[in-house]
Amino acid sequence: MHSTISARARLHNPRLNKGTAFTSEERERFGLHGLLPPKISTMEEQVTGMLANLRKKNSDIARYCYLASLASRNERLHYRALIDHIEELMPIVYTPTVGQACQQFAYLFREANGFYLSIEQRGRVRETLANWVTTDVRLIVVTDGERILGLGDLGVSGMGIPIGKLELYCACAGIDPAQCLPITLDVGTNNIEFQKDPRYLGHHHGRVRGKAYDEFIEEFILAVQERFPKALLQFEDFATPNAVALLERYRDRLLCFNDDIQGTAAVALAGLIAATRLTGTQLSEMSFLFVGAGSAATGIANLLALAIEREGLSEKEARSRCVLCDSKGVITRSRESLTPHSAPFAADLEPMSYVEAIDAMKPHAIIGATGRGGMFTEEVIKKMMKWHDQPIIFALSNPTSKAECTAEEAYRFSEGRAIFASGSPFKPVEIKGEIKIPGQGNNAYVFPGLGLGVLAAGARRITDSMLIAAAQALADTVTEERLAQGSLYPPLHDIRTVSQQIAIAVARTASAEGLTETEIDAAFSEKMALGMYDPRY
């Protein structure tokens, strides 16, 4: 007796398909004899063959397309390969390759993946969202595509970001892909090239702003709360004014967070905490110069200031340790207009460039979040060297072309003395007979574990204390051996273990703050680990 699902339907369902790994008994039971080659493969053999094919591709974008195609055919094989070969494959499924994939989205698009909500569906968002047949959604990543990585406004072509982020949730923290939903909100695009491109797949008008935009977002949030009441909603790659406003508006109304603001802040704070083990200097004894004043920079500064407060400084003193610079230079109190998110960090300094600010304030760390490549020149790094024997250089912008400096430049210009971290991956660097392994301050070190922790614990909100707990837990996973090699983050191949440790710290903090009814007892971590998605046949 064959299954009620047709043989061909089974082979074309990515969650059911096993390809040549269907056993003889399964081929008989499901009516698959004759539809597959005779050889019965193990999953390990399939992974080996898949990797061999992948490595033959002549570009990372071709490898990206190959992995996307695999996911649409055999989901378990896709995630098995991603989990077991995360260091090789993460740069392909996410940064830096995903940036190119988004830029070319209209030309790479082959089949629907994810959910698209148009602002022209206002008044029908709840009805439209019901078209997603799965109701047990636990994790949503949503973007409006206005600030994709450091690439700007890509509109609906930014869908690659929610898809990629959710792949990392599944691979790095064991979130079941069946419970994940990537969403892109199409409110238009101000990208003139896209507006003129007949193949662009979104609306060809400029971005809708103001009341209409806010009402659309509100309708969307209400629809999510009704349809997916247990879901964690992650805001992703919204432009700074909207990113800040949406987080403030909704963080106390539903389980949500903004990875560009809060995830980036937590991973950067973890790197700075780890760096203190090399410098022997507490955060509260240091000063920090931010080059960039958008959502990422202000998010880091806010969380860092809170961490500094916990070391005994007042709120005013803690904030004064963080100086922000934008395209006009240092953000000072004398400015005629200040944005709400940068105003708390306005400095008591004379107007000056960020290069001049190095001599004026002698920062222990310079943190780049500009989206502009090459900002940390030899002059900048040598100025940092003038004041500190081990200057902390964080070039956090991505993709790689947008990094403020490369790892090689940071080490070469500092004669190997810089403590370096980046947002994009860089290869090890040999300098003065030593091998430096640059740490990548990738948000994937934090957001999967954060999501796992709040979902496993049934947390109702995400707080700053939970983000600090995540940062401290991540910093604690960095071994002395890794620090000696110059890396402020653990190796990626340990990411699932790291995510579990972060999840436990987040869950305990949520419980201590009274934000969960789940008991975080001695058995919690074991139960959580057993519930993690681990793709097998």
Sorted by where each starts, the structural domains of the chain and their CATH numbers stand as 1-41 (1.20.1370.30), 97-254 (3.40.50.10380), 263-444 (3.40.50.720)
Across 300-309, average pLDDT: 98
Task: Provide the whole-model pTM.
Answer: 0.94
Give the per-residue pLDDT at 522: 85
Give the per-residue pLDDT at 117: 98
165 is catalytic: yes
Q: Do 146 and 238 contact (CB within 8 A), yes or no?
A: yes
Give the per-residue pLDDT at 519: 81
Across 440-464, average pLDDT: 96
Q: Is the dihedral of CA 220, 225, 229, 234 positive or negative?
A: positive
Q: Is 236 exposed, middle or buried (0-12, 13-18, 19+ CB in 10 A)?
A: buried
**What string of DSSP letters covers 247-293?**
HHHHTTTSSEEEIIIIIHHHHHHHHHHHHHHHH---GGG--EEEE--
- Lookup: tokens for 24: 């003889």
Return the percentage of the chain with pLDDT > 90, whole number. 91
> CA nearest 75: which of 157, 162, 4, 179?
179
Across 96-124, average pLDDT: 92
Q: Is 313 exposed, middle or buried (0-12, 13-18, 19+ CB in 10 A)?
A: middle
At 334, the amino acid letter reads: S
Instruction: Assign 382 to helix, strand or coil.
Output: helix
Q: What is the pLDDT of residues 428-448, one digit of tens each?
A: 999 999 999 999 999 999 999
Q: What is the pLDDT of residues 472-513, one digit of tens each?
A: 999 999 999 999 999 999 999 999 999 999 999 999 999 999
For 263-273, b/e burial (b = at least 16 CB within 10 A) is bbbbbbbbbbb
- The number of beta carbons lying within 10 Å of the beta carbon of residue 15 is 11
Q: How far apart are CA 462 and CA 452, in angstroms?
A: 12
Q: How far apart are CA 446 and CA 265, in angstroms?
A: 10
Let me know the angle formed at the C-alpha of 203 by 218 and 182, rounded to the nearest 5 degrees: 55
- The number of beta carbons lying within 10 Å of the beta carbon of residue 347 is 22
> CA nearest 22: which of 79, 77, 78?
77
For 51-77, b/e burial (b = at least 16 CB within 10 A) is eeebeeeeeebebbbbbbebbbebbbb
Give the per-residue pLDDT at 3: 59
Give the per-residue pLDDT at 1: 44
- Active-site annotation holder among 94, 200, 250, 411: 94
Asked whether the predicted pLDDT for residue 2 surpasses 80, the reply is no
- Active-site annotation holder among 18, 165, 383, 436: 165
Q: Do 502 and 475 contact (CB within 8 A), yes or no?
A: no
169 is catalytic: no
Sheet containing strand 365-368, edge to edge, reads 329-330, 322-326, 288-291, 365-368, 392-395, 419-422, 439-440
Asked whether the predicted pLDDT for residue 384 surpasses 60, the reply is yes
Contacts (Cβ under 8 Å, ≥6 apart) of 424 = 95, 96, 397, 398, 399, 400, 402, 403, 440
Q: Is the dihedral of CA 226, 227, 228, 233 positive or negative?
A: negative
Q: How far apart are CA 108 and CA 127, in angstroms?
A: 29
- Lookup: tokens for 162: 């929610």
Q: Do 254 and 229 contact (CB within 8 A), yes or no?
A: no
Asked whether the predicted pLDDT for residue 11 surpasses 80, the reply is yes
Q: What is the pLDDT of residues 314-346, one digit of tens each?
A: 999 999 999 999 999 999 998 888 888 888 999
Q: How far apart are CA 235 and CA 293, in angstroms?
A: 19
